[in-house]
Structure 1
């Protein structure tokens, strides 16, 4: 058995580059924000990124007589902000015990057949797929917290408060969905107008909203919305289309978002954590130029030092290591993403106080 493990470790198919390519071929099963194409991926060669914050000044230009002195441009005020890229390592292993009874032996000398090697290969691949999916859902969690303005760790603790870093206060709109007479359309226009005013030189194509299930249900059943939603439902094929997505009201596309993950606590228990808190909705612009950027730092590996990763290498897999006493194979993966919103004033929180 140890000889089989050693052969696999020395196989070129299990080098760092081959394993990284293999694990990134696995489809990203978790990632509504990835489906929306909200964040532009940008690889960097360092473990931090520095943002040059400039507030351009646009003012009306007066007319002058020909030959008269021209007006002078106002200097832009620049501020530099450095952000550390989160480092997310994750290890697993394939033990001899995991594959021992699955190996097929050929001949009388106990030599493993090609089918035996494929079984070990299959076990490693299954581990890599699971590890890739854990990184994918972690990335989704980071991105959803980014559009909320506070990038959070797995346990909800803040990593970067974008509002504090950029010196702004988050806009929050109370939709008062418990009041039948609330003009919800006016609330939506307030959100859209605020986002447009704070693009600060960027452009957008529309506004999108990810809503918690409870907020979405109250929204579509409100007196000023339910007729529009009823018409939307009537134009859809309920056997083919998900009626919780794609409902556009006042030029904002609303969808129910149920993203969640299980958090492992220190005592061994688990807690289900929703990415958007119950009763909340998050508004953000779609189709911007550079407001949303996902920076990717190099992995913590000697061969990758100071080298920007490939755009497709979101998860890095180190060369396989033989476990102590040949008991199995140790697998190390990591991802180094920083989903950054460079205009956090475009992020609006919605809620209902009644």
Structure 2
């Protein structure tokens, strides 16, 4: 019969558990799969984002022998931010080990590890959902807490930039030039990027259900949508699909089933660049223990906390210290259905 002493095994050390949780499969997510946020391991919770506003200017002609025009120094400052702290735990009680026995080739240690991993996976999935929530917030320029209203960071305010007003796509009007609106929006994003857009940069949109449905049924879009390879089989369910139109990749974003915890409002669209220079970053700070102090941060940590007084339980705790940052929120755009 397994006992609480089993947690003294090196398999339950912080290093071993962290390695296990990093390799554990979790449910995929759209924003995570895009590889949008450049990982930036840091050694402290406090970070500084260095900004340099170098503008391109024309050089005037000058007379032979005269002094050249002097290059003005770049406007430079630093924005102070702090990584978030995400933590959750479960408790494995001594009485729950009563039924764990080794059988076949499975040892008692393996059986306890399997139960431990099962509970860890549940928290890992919650953690990944929270990371997706933070990614979605950064894509909109405002990082919100789990309640959906508390603002952790307003990146427009932090970086001193103005948020553009929402564009009406007037999808309820049959004659609206949707392709023209797409081009205007893309040009606007590129011109305000101040060099962040490169030749490989593309514009993507996360779209709510009503916006997406109205978009693909609009008279000026429907034919292009039906010719898109992803819509070749008209009988196939294309809910939560994606297609390319007007130079923009449109994703019918699938969030949580309640339509609110992690979601895009049904009649809205959020636009952001993929492959732009220094727009999105993900800072990762280290675990707040002596063993990991001043080490490069990892995506997730796990540790075991035993009951040293009564030996009645052991707690599995998962920690993550990310900060998803939009360093140039001026390139973000949003739109409404009408």
Tell me the TM-score normalized by structure 1.
Answer: 0.87
Match of 2:202 in 1: 206
Deviation at 1:129, TM superposition (A): 1.4
Match of 2:154 in 1: 161
Question: 1:145 and 1:101 mapped to 2: Cα distance?
Answer: 44
Distance 1:177 1:240, change over 3 A: closer
Distance 1:317 1:232, change over 3 A: same
Match of 2:123 in 1: 131
Correspondence 1:233-252 to 2 at 5 A? 236=232, 244-252=240-248
Distance 1:97 1:216, change over 3 A: farther
Distance 1:223 1:261, change over 3 A: closer
Question: 1:90 and 1:46 mapped to 2: Cα distance?
Answer: 21
Question: 1:194 and 1:351 mapped to 2: Cα distance?
Answer: 17
Matched, 1:256 2:252: yes
Question: 2:68 and 2:136 mapped to 1: Cα distance?
Answer: 47
Deviation at 1:34, TM superposition (A): 1.6
Deviation at 1:103, TM superposition (A): 2.3
Distance 1:323 1:277, change over 3 A: farther
Gaps of 5+ in 1: 107-112, 263-270
Matched, 1:326 2:326: no
Deviation at 1:237, TM superposition (A): 5.7
RMSD: 2.4
| Contact kept? 2:212, 2:252, Cα under 8 Å | yes
Q: Determine which of 110, 114, 120 is the counterpart of 1:122.
A: 114
Gaps of 5+ in 2: none
SS at match of 1:274: coil
Distance 1:190 1:323, change over 3 A: farther
Deviation at 1:27, TM superposition (A): 2.6
Q: Determine which of 258, 262, 269 is the counterpart of 1:274.
A: 262
SS at match of 2:271: strand
Distance 1:217 1:303, change over 3 A: same
SS at match of 1:141: helix
Post-superposition CA distance 1:66-113 (Å, at most 9, x none): 43211111222223211111111111122233332232489xxxxxx9
Question: 1:346 and 1:95 mapped to 2: Cα distance?
Answer: 51
Question: 2:284 and 2:72 mapped to 1: Cα distance?
Answer: 35
Match of 2:16 in 1: 18
SS at match of 1:51: strand
Match of 2:276 in 1: 288
| Contact kept? 1:177, 1:352, Cα under 8 Å | yes
Distance 1:182 1:234, change over 3 A: same
Match of 2:172 in 1: 178
Distance 1:48 1:300, change over 3 A: same
Distance 1:272 1:194, change over 3 A: closer
Q: Determine which of 300, 323, 327 is the counterpart of 1:338.
A: 323
| Number of residue pairs matched by the alignment | 334
Tell me the TM-score normalized by structure 2.
Answer: 0.91
Structure 1 window deviating more from structure 2 (41-50 vs 162-171): it is 162-171
Match of 1:268 in 2: none
Match of 1:306 in 2: 294
Post-superposition CA distance 1:173-202 (Å, at most 9, x none): 111111222111122112101110121222
SS at match of 1:74: coil
SS at match of 1:160: strand
Question: 1:198 and 1:257 mapped to 2: Cα distance?
Answer: 26
